[in-house]
């Protein structure tokens, strides 16, 4: 009896050891993994060309280097690079993906689907695009940044270099927009700066995974504001004053009358006055700001409607007003004829440190 009990205990102990080994057999030590922070993707002929920006510790500091590879798929590229290195490539630490402008025009559906399917890259990774040569971009950026820098990650960090004129778009948002009936998205366009490492150019409008239009940084500010993303800290320069936005929120109201879609948005802005030239009144400053933003909105929305790209997500306010059979036609039938009225409300909360304005 005791012999059988001992045998059972030994078998159970060996089984536990076997299960632990089974779950850990492929674990790699962190010292044997290369963890890029930035991943660039372009195409050459029928292949993907991938650029990896890697920071490595060297003599109590960090050195940045660029690793380049080619292949039929992203996984094929990573396998090719790993086979020629003394460590494996771990993409889970990638924070920013930069795609070539021409690749975006051809379509990002396969690339985005591959990332989401393999889950080698976090779905929260930020995506941006560039118009210049990818090789020149990475090599030039690598020469300009200091060793311990995490550029271009800091460019998009809200506690570092980000400002409200830059779109923040993540991998899951692009994937969602590709498969959505009423929602498109925009990717930030960046380039090498003349006196800074990077500079923003505007945003690339993505419709069903393909680039179809562009909006400038000022229009991107409205894009962020209408999605109720915070535009706090943005400074607007008027004819006779400069103001800073302290807060923003939007109220929407939608109607569908005889097949015609109507949408009204009340954009509320809390601002503070930083500088004035002459004896500008609050009323005049409010009027100038409203006219400036209204002009920008009209220009931007005309471009978006003509390209049938709903990056403002206006279709989401008609999901409960249209049957599913009609929602699939939102971009082509309802959106181009949408009447979108933007009402801007400005509240000057204070006049900075000097109270000199009159009503």
- In this predicted model, what pLDDT tens digit does every residue of 133-160 receive, in sequence order? 999 998 887 776 555 455 676 777 776 6
Per-residue pLDDT reduced to its tens digit, 304-337: 999 999 999 999 999 999 998 899 899 999 999 9
Q: What's 208's DSSP letter?
A: T
| Banded model confidence at residue 291, pLDDT cuts 50, 70, 90 | very high
Residues 6+ apart with CB under 8 A from 105: 210, 211
| Banded model confidence at residue 256, pLDDT cuts 50, 70, 90 | very high
Q: What SS3 class is residue 244?
A: strand
DSSP character string of 309-329: --TT-GGGGGTTTS-HHHHTT
Helix axes 109-118, 74-83, angle to 10 degrees: 60
E strands, 95-158, are 96-100, 126-130
Q: What is the pTM of this model?
A: 0.83
Q: What's 93's DSSP letter?
A: G
Other C-beta atoms lying within 10 Å of the C-beta of residue 121: 19
> Looking at the predicted structure, is the pLDDT value of residue 17 above 60?
no
Specify whether the CB–CB gap between 170 and 126 falls below 8 A: yes
Q: What's the alpha-carbon Rg for the chain, to the nearest Å? A: 26
- Residue 88 CA, distance from chain mean position: 28
Q: Which helix (H) or strand (E) holds 358?
A: none
What are the helix and strand counts (H, E) for the chain? 10, 14
């Amino acid at each position: 009896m005791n012999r059988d009990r001992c045998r059972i205990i030994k078998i159970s102990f060996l089984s536990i050891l076997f299960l632990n080994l089974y779950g850990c057999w492929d674990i790699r030590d962190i010292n044997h993994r290369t963890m890029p922070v930035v991943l660039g993707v372009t195409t050459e002929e029928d292949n993907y060309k991938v650029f990896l920006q890697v920071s490595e510790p060297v003599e109590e500091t960090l050195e940045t280097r660029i690793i380049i590879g080619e292949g039929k798929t992203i996984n094929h590229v990573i396998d090719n690079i790993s086979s020629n290195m003394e460590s494996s490539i771990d993409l889970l630490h990638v924070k920013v993906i930069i795609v070539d402008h021409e690749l975006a025009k051809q379509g990002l559906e396969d690339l985005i689907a591959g990332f989401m399917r393999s889950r080698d890259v976090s779905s929260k990774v930020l995506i941006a695009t560039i118009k210049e040569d990818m090789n020149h971009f990475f090599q030039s950026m690598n020469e300009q940044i200091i060793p311990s820098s995490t550029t271009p990650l800091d460019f998009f960090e809200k506690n570092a270099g980000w400002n409200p004129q830059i779109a923040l778009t993540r991998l899951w948002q692009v994937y969602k927009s590709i498969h959505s009936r009423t929602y498109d998205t925009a990717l930030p366009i960046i380039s090498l700066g003349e006196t800074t490492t990077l500079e923003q150019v505007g945003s690339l409008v993505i419709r069903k995974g393909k680039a179809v239009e562009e909006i400038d940084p000022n229009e991107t500010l409205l894009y962020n504001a209408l999605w109720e993303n915070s535009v706090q800290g943005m400074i607007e320069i008027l004819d006779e004053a400069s103001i800073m936005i302290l807060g923003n929120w939007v109220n929407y109201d939608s109607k569908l009358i005889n097949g015609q879609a109507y949408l009204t948005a009340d954009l509320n802005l809390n601002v503070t006055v930083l500088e004035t030239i002459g004896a500008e009144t609050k009323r005049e400053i409010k009027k100038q700001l409203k006219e400036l933003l209204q002009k920008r909105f009209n220009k931007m929305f005309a471009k978006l409607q003509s390209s049938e790209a709903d990056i403002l997500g206006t279709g989401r306010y008609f999901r409960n007003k249209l049957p599913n059979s009609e929602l699939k036609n939102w971009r082509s039938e309802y959106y181009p004829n949408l009447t979108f009225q933007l009402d801007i409300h400005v509240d000057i909360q204070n006049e900075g440190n000097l109270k000199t304005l009159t009503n």
